[in-house]
Amino acid sequence: MKYDVLIIGGGPVGNYLASLLSGKLDVAVVERKGSFGGKACTGIIGAEMYEALGLPEKAVLNAYNGAYFISKGSVFEISRKNPQAYLVDRKILERELAKRAIRRGAEYYLATNFLRFKNGKALVQHLDSQFEIEAEVYVGADGVNSAVARNIGTKTEGEVLKGWELEVLGNFKRERVEVWVNKDINPEFFFWVAPINEEEARVGTFGSIDALAKFLKLRRIKGGNILEFKSGAVILGWRKPWVKGNIALLGDAALQIKPTTAGGIVFGAYCARVLAKAILTGNLQMYEKGCSWVREQISFGLRVRKVFKDLSQEKIEEIFGILSTEEARRIIEERAEFDDHVRTIKALLKSPKLLAKLIRVAPWILRALI
Ligand SMILES: Cc1cc2nc3c(=O)[nH]c(=O)nc-3n(C[C@H](O)[C@H](O)[C@H](O)COP(=O)(O)OP(=O)(O)OC[C@H]3O[C@@H](n4cnc5c(N)ncnc54)[C@H](O)[C@@H]3O)c2cc1C
């Protein structure tokens, strides 16, 4: 059988695309694993986008309406009335999206590995047998190490970061995420503590395992209290092109990842919507253009990432001093958007008071961002 669309990779983004297209077109998904979930991923997703994208409520484990920002020398709290972010269960998220797609007619090939394209068809392997699947359009939603991207000869320019994700037992404030910035321990990234409930949380960072070990000590989380330990990787940067002939890349496979937090589910799902429209209208070429919001966020996020890497801990302490002022907290509480860092940072820089303070601390930051 020839499908209209073959999606390679049944992660959250591939399954979301399958749910959007099935019922309208003949869709198949090949997934290497024999079941959904299992990837190292904390599962923090902006609440507004989660709802706007229609992602499944059933996967939500917890909701955060605020955060503690903790540096070496200070702490400040941001609190808002409504939930700003959700913590989701990846397995349930992926399964629910796959269920939606299957109910609408999509066919899933689990435990099936995409090998390469051969004469315009996808060569795949299930157990010890190889066979070909043919489609009008192929979508590589097979993650950062995308075999589809390699096959079509894309160019990757980015920073590879190893990530760590633990589930631990301890005492936590359920409705607050903790964001720890301590470059003496980890020059690469911040640490996060995302409570599942009052006694369990997901803790993680990107960087070295040694940095993670030091953080656990600082946060007083005992090594013996770890319930789950996972590692993974992200690439922050660009992979181009996103479309070659009748093959498109989507999600992590296209590096649709937020450079500030390494979150990829919202950008991937946003681009899935654009791609679904491009496929349905028979105009794949409008896909990249239609994702301009995501491309702008990535481009700005990469500049913010560079600023973060260039900042010393002393400067970070001074910036924490600025961000913990009443004026900054008011702007963040009123205007910040979890998934729109361009808007959030621009709102902060529009305040003459904050701008003057920032110019005193590190004028080069402005040059880097504007
Ligand atoms: C430590 C860590 C924490 C993170 N925390 C968050 C977070 O809190 N929030 C957030 O939004 N993002 C987070 N991310 C990023 C997030 O995990 C990714 O952006 C997200 O998984 C991207 O989804 P995807 O469907 O594009 O790719 P993936 O989730 O990577 O899914 C790709 C799928 O393709 C399959 N596949 C791969 N190769 C083949 C093949 N050859 N044939 C068939 N199938 C194949 C894989 O098995 C997989 O199921 C985190 C990442 C890490 C490493």
Q: What is the pLDDT of residues 292-332, one digit of tens each?
A: 999 999 999 999 999 999 999 999 999 999 999 999 998 88
Atom of ligand 1 nearest to the CA of 253: 26
Is the per-residue pLDDT at 1 higher than 80? no
Q: What is the best residue among 142, 177, 291 to mutate for testing ligand 1's pocket, by most ligand atoms within 8 Å of CB?
A: 142
Select from 3, 42, 15 the least CA-distant residue to 268: 15
Residue with CA closest to ligand 1 atom 41: 114
CA terminus-to-terminus distance, the chain: 52
Tell which residue, 274, 349, 263, 344, has the closest CA to residue 85: 263
Of 49, 44, 99, the closest CA to residue 293 belongs to 49
CA of 11 to the centre of ligand 1 (A): 6
Instruction: Identify which of 39, 112, 193 to mutate to test ligand 1's pocket (most ligand atoms within 8 A of the CB).
Output: 39
Given a cut of 90, whether residue 335 has pLDDT beyond it is no
151's CB contacts (< 8 A; 6+ apart) are: 116, 117
Return the percentage of the chain with pLDDT > 70, whole number: 100
2-66+85-158+236-298 CATH pick, 1.10.10.10, 3.50.50.60, 3.30.450.90, 3.40.50.720: 3.50.50.60
Q: Where in the chain is the domain with CATH 3.30.9.10?
A: 160-234
User: Does CATH place domain 160-234 in 3.65.10.10?
Assistant: no
Q: How far is CA 156 from CA 12, 47, 51, 103, 248, in A?
A: 22, 30, 32, 36, 15
Residues with CB under 6 A from ligand 1: 8-14, 30-33, 39-45, 113-114, 141-143, 147, 163, 165, 204, 232-234, 251-252, 257, 262-266, 268
Residue 68 to residues 32, 86, 163, 192, 331: CA-CA distances in angstroms?
38, 16, 21, 10, 16
Which atom of ligand 1 lies closest to the CA of 264?
19
Query: Which residues touch 306 (CB under 8 Å, ≥6 apart)?
Result: 368
Q: Out of 196, 230, 265, give the residue to mutate to test ligand 1, the one with the largest number of ligand atoms within 8 Å of its CB.
A: 265
Under 8 Å between Cβ of 98 and 15: yes
Is pLDDT of 162 > 80?
Answer: yes
**Ligand 1 centroid distance, CA of 360 (Å):** 41
In the structure, what pLDDT confidence band is assigned to residue 343 with cuts at 50, 70 and 90? confident
Residue nearest to atom 27 of ligand 1 (CA): 143
Structure tokens at 143: 């993650």
Residue 241: pLDDT above 90? yes
Q: Tokens for 7?
A: 């999606």
pLDDT at residue 274, rounded to an integer: 98
Residue showing tokens 């349930």: 92
Name the average pLDDT for the chain: 95
Give the count of beta carbons closer than 10 Å to the beta carbon of residue 175: 15
Q: Give the helix/strand (H/E) hosting 114.
A: strand 112-118
Alpha carbon nearest to ligand 1 atom 29, residue: 11
Q: Does pLDDT of 340 surpass 90? A: no
Residue 173 has pLDDT above 80, yes or no: yes
Compute the distance from residue 312 Cα to the ligand 1 centre, in Å.
31
Asked whether residue 370 carries a pLDDT value surpassing 80, the answer given is no
The whole model's pTM is what?
Answer: 0.97
